Structure 1
Amino acid sequence: MNRSDSILDKSFTRRRVLGYGAAGAGLAAMPWQVSLAAQIDAAGGDQAMRTRAIPASGEQIPVIGMGSSGSFATRSESTLADLATVMKEFVAMGGTLVDTSPSYGNAETNIGNIARETGVREQLFMATKVRKRSRERTLEQFRASIDELGEPIDLLQIHNFIGLDNQWATLQQLKEEGRVRYIGITHYLTSAFDELEHQMATKDLDFVQFNYSIMTPDAERRLLPLAADHGIAVLVNRAFNDGRIFGETKGKELPDFAKEFDCFSWAQFALKYVLANETVTAVIPATSDPEHLRDNMHAGYGKLPDADMRKRMRQTMRAL
């Protein structure tokens, strides 16, 4: 079985939920497993995490990925133990795409070590970045990422336009040589949208990554339609506005209508809003907290809000 086949075959079913504890990790069934299995039964049987196709290839990836900025950079043994739990449960709940960068402290080191130690490395769709200005330094940084994360590197991205003109040709060559499977660019600021729009229109990108959320929906007007037109996969960062949404919603009850699209927390409210735009390939929230990870992953299951419901969601946020 080739790498692409293995990704496509990792559907997450009720049997996998119930089997993970005893067979997969030697643990008793966890509360989230039982509650998720009950939700799946209520929905009418086996249910896989939602996936979407990468336009460049048709390969399907789960819609909830995992970022690592601010979450995987640590040397604390207790935090590393939590991160190991996060990684195992991310995969058990249907996740594959992990997004990282050499600039995120020692995140690459921790991700690589944990993925190997927990036995999930072959199940991951690994995305990382380069942020050097010369070809030589770019290749040096790429080799260092391979040493930390292992191969394959599925997606290599130019981080925040750094050395963009020099690096793009290098990334194209790495793809042609089969060293990476997909290439793209990233940014995290709305102020970068003009440049993102130009690059999306003029380069043959497989992926683009940018910020998009219910609180900052600017990408709906320009970047998401452009990505759809050009067949570019979209990774969304800052779906929680760096946690600001939780400050806005603290102590506030989730509206009753959220249950209509299988939403049971403010985190899921934010993530399902983003995923309701079908041009979004995956959203990549970062966390080092296993409970937050479980909450985030549930957003990849069940219904998504339609256009009328998204309007109600925006009205709810404005009224808080």
Structure 2
Amino acid sequence: MDMITLSNGVRIPQLGFGVFQVPPDDTQRAVEQAIAIGYRHIDTAAAYNNEAGVGAAVRASGLPRDELFVTTKLRNGEHGYESALTAYDETLQRLGLDYADLYLVHWPNPTMDRYVDSWRALERIQAEGRVRAIGVSNFLPEHLDRLAKESEIVPAVNQIELHPTYQQHELTELCREQSIAVEAYSPLGQGGDLDHRVLASIADAHDATPAQVVLRWHLQLGHIVIPKSVNRERIRANFELGGFELTDAELAAVSGLEAGNRLGSDPRTFAISQIR
């Protein structure tokens, strides 16, 4: 399994398994399947309402805790210094784990204007040794620039919407300049990017699926990537990416699909506390 070394030296599996919109009652089963297939990085969030199922699957796996990488996130309604400290304690209780490997501020939520205070709470949690790495999600250049001016630690990760038709070049370049690892959610464009003929052609050349081509594109560009599915065969197919590599021309062809096609919410305005 390919690994990415974060700026603080923590190593994260480059390919993970996401549980966004996986119903709470299905989460443990889906994560147990993913772990059995070989995934060692699981991504959840307080706002997904399924942290308990992730933690149950981690405990049921029988694997040593340090062989699994668990990411979770602070939801919008818990921004603020003291609120974020309390929220992390509650997240660990729901997970049933002693620590998370990566804790992210899920959205900047600028209308509340407390993301810097929230970030300082994450800095404290890391200083106390209760989380291995801290980062952000959906932070745009202006949010990263403010953190750089008003806090001590640069985020290890920025998890953002990123797929062939929405690549956020300015943001990803800024992250690279600041040694912030880029993590892609909705990496397949929620399936909508997979119908392009260029992907079908590349897939045929490698005896692969369009989804496998897109995931391989992410990996070769250095993105951390967290596809999600509750279908066992798709979970397996998304993991089995070691049999081929894209040429430079094929990488360029996939990158050429950029269309400004954002599917998710605008980080400048998104303020909903709970995602269900």
The residue aligned with 2:123 is 172
SS at the partner of 1:52?
Answer: strand
The residue aligned with 1:142 is 88
SS at the partner of 1:156?
Answer: strand
Q: Distance in 2 between matches of 1:316 and 1:210?
A: 18
For residue 61 of structure 2, the aligned residue among 101, 118, 126 is 118
Distance 1:174 1:74, change over 3 A: closer
SS at the partner of 1:98?
Answer: strand
1:66 pairs with 2:17: yes
The residue aligned with 2:274 is none
* 1:96-139: CA deviation from partner (whole Å, max 9, x where unpaired): 2211111112x101111222223247132111111312322212
The structure, 1 or 2, with the larger RCO (C-alpha pairs under 8 Å, 6+ apart) is: 2
* 1:189-218: CA deviation from partner (whole Å, max 9, x where unpaired): xxx63435535755611111111111112x
SS at the partner of 2:48?
Answer: coil
Q: Distance in 2 between matches of 1:225 and 1:314?
A: 14
The residue aligned with 2:252 is 311
For residue 207 of structure 1, the aligned residue among 133, 157, 163 is 157
* 1:234-287: CA deviation from partner (whole Å, max 9, x where unpaired): 2111112223235x35xx796454365x56112112212222212x2x101122
Rg bigger for which structure? 1
SS at the partner of 2:18?
Answer: coil
Q: Distance in 1 between matches of 2:207 and 2:12?
A: 21
Whether the 8 Å contact between 1:197 and 1:223 is mirrored in structure 2 is no
The residue aligned with 1:26 is none
Gapped runs of 5+ residues in structure 1?
1-48
| 1:305 CA drift (Å) | 2.0
Whether the 8 Å contact between 2:164 and 2:193 is mirrored in structure 1 is no
SS at the partner of 2:183?
Answer: strand
Whether the 8 Å contact between 2:199 and 2:210 is mirrored in structure 1 is yes
The residue aligned with 1:198 is 145
For residue 177 of structure 2, the aligned residue among 220, 229, 239 is 229
Q: Distance in 2 between matches of 1:146 and 1:308?
A: 45
The amino acid that maps onto 2:31 is: M
The residue aligned with 1:25 is none
Gapped runs of 5+ residues in structure 2?
260-276
The residue aligned with 1:56 is 8
For residue 276 of structure 1, the aligned residue among 220, 227, 230 is 220
The residue aligned with 1:290 is 232
Q: Distance in 2 between matches of 1:306 and 1:137?
A: 48
Q: Distance in 1 between matches of 2:64 and 2:233?
A: 22
Aligned length: 248
User: Aligned-pair RMSD on alpha carbons?
Assistant: 2.7
| 1:148 CA drift (Å) | 1.7
Q: Distance in 2 between matches of 1:205 and 1:315?
A: 29
Whether the 8 Å contact between 2:141 and 2:171 is mirrored in structure 1 is no
| 1:315 CA drift (Å) | 5.9
Percent of paired sites with the same residue: 23
1:258 pairs with 2:224: no
Whether the 8 Å contact between 1:172 and 1:183 is mirrored in structure 2 is yes
| 1:142 CA drift (Å) | 0.8
1:98 pairs with 2:46: no
| TM-score, normalising length: structure 1 | 0.69
* 1:40-65: CA deviation from partner (whole Å, max 9, x where unpaired): xxxxxxxxx322222321x4332210
Q: Distance in 2 between matches of 1:108 and 1:88?
A: 13
Distance 1:214 1:175, change over 3 A: same
| TM-score, normalising length: structure 2 | 0.79
